[in-house]
Chains A and B, each alone.
Chain A
Amino acid sequence: MLDVRGLRKVYEGAGRHVEAVRDLTFTVEAGELVCLVGPSGCGKTTLLKCVGGLLEPTGGEVYLAGRKVDGPPPGMAFVFQEYGRSLFPWMRVGQNVGLPLKRKGFDKGRRRALVADALASVGLADAAGAYPWQLSGGMQQRVAIARALAYEPEVLLMDEPFAAVDAQTRADLEDLVRRLWRERGITVLFVTHDIDEAVYLGERVVVLSASPTVVREQLKVDLPAERDQLSTRVAPRFAELRTHVYEQIQAAKRGAVTAGTDKPPPH
């Protein structure tokens, strides 16, 4: 579904030459939930913006369902970390969710149905008439998720979406993403710096190196599909996986070079 080949991004500034992303290759299959995790400042956001067509890569290509991405494709929806700045404060929640649908040329009835459905599935069926700033942070991020859902993307890109909400809200939102992914069969690429979150959410975790970024390891998360905050997080296998990813990230911070493997840690 999503194919990232040899992605490279160099920022050229006044006398500065910053290589943010060196060489990234990975794929996301249709219906997969993949988490990208890496040390802080490893160019995760740069990478996601390149994938989403918001930034032009210096080298390499991104393919969405076989078509090369140059500019934001209609088959991708973005959920940003800064929900407060990503929702339009002059529009009510329903208008925010419905705005991108106008571009798709749907008639009013279809738009209204999609908006109502998306808001209901994030648990905000009653909030359509409110302004975003009347809602809590967690609810605002739910609105942003609903906007992405209503857009019916082939791939949902999420850029550290829960980094700015409190821990309890974050747990709820994680479960929401899991549930939506399972119910709707959407493809999700989820970027985070939180190792636990990556392991808890993902079917697969792509561990990134420090900047200039390369793929350090790809790890299949062999936890049961049915996950919940209580039992999954205390499962021995969860602990093993998070320890493994944690070690990889620590090693990445130190800049240790190990060959990338596809093998999960042994049971």
Chain B
Amino acid sequence: MRPLLLRLVFALALPVVLVAVWWVSSADSEDVYWPPLRTILETFPGVWTGERWRGDVLPSVLRLAAGYVLAAVAGVALGTLIGSYRRVRAVCEPVLEFLRAVPPPVLVPVIMLFAGIGDTMKIVVIASGCVWPVLLNTVEGVRAVDAVMTETARSYGITGAARLKDVVLPSASPQIFAGLRQALSIGIILMVISEMFAASNGLGFTIVQFQRSFAIPDMWTGILLLGLLGFVLSVLFQLVERRALGWYHGLRAAARRSR
């Protein structure tokens, strides 16, 4: 139990310090834009009522989930295809480099022209930003499958779908997960941005509304909530990753021990 307790202390120490610093430094702030943390926390329960959760938080999270899953599926599928065939890679690589270099928020106005201003637009925006790290990492992971493993699979007649499922994708999975992790933070950013352009609900929309109506403490609660959302999602991600990549972490630890 002790190591767990110690880890908890380590994990919580810095956040506690930061919150304390925020609390003290803002305690008697008169600045309208920099309200005391105390005020923000007092405002929080009144702002984020059940109705807000249903009407704003849930739609945001659902759009994020839809865009993210879309990006993950498309990224892994295309990445596997591109990574597996040298010819396809040669054709796609320059285009990929270009598309990757375009900052995703720039796409929002463009996608609005095609997809309107509804949920579809937001999901497409999120997906089109999230797909790149997944895609590029999958390409690298699929390319890097060990030569001996490839030959082993071939010599035992493990080909086609079985090869993909049992050899290529598991072998690439550490890199795929690295891409998925990057994509998650990009997804949250794009979720907010897409709601700032043209929306009638959502977290980003609500925060902008608060700011425009000078409900500054309310705006701060929204920012706080976004931070918490990001934190919860990253913890969830870590849980999934630890399960899926248990073998990888064990392998790495074993390699370190034997060195």
- Chain A interfacial positions (CB closer than 8 Å to B): 49, 52-54, 72, 74, 76-78, 80, 82, 85-86, 88-91, 99-100, 102-103, 131, 133-134, 147, 151
Contacts and interface: CB of A to CB of B under 8 A. Distances in A.
Interface residues of B, number: 23
B212 to A, nearest CB: 51
Given A90-B171, A90-B248, 20 more contacts: A54-B154, A77-B155, A80-B148, A82-B148, A85-B146, A85-B147, A86-B148, A88-B149, A88-B171, A89-B247, A89-B248, A90-B173, A91-B170, A91-B247, A99-B166, A100-B156, A131-B247, A133-B251, A133-B255, A134-B250
Interface in B221-257: 247-248, 250-251, 254-255
B152 interface: yes
A186 to B, nearest CB: 16
B contact patch SS: helix
A134 B147 CA distance: 22
Which of A52, A85, A89 is the most central at the interface, judged by chain B CB atoms within 10 Å of its CB? Answer: A89
Nearest to A78: B155
B66 interface: no
B156 A103 contact: yes
A89 B152 contact: no
Contacts of A80: 148, 151-152
B178 interface: no
Given A54-B154, A77-B156, A133 B250 contact: yes
Interface string B138-157: 00000000111101101111
A72 B154 contact: yes
B167 interface: yes
B158 interface: yes
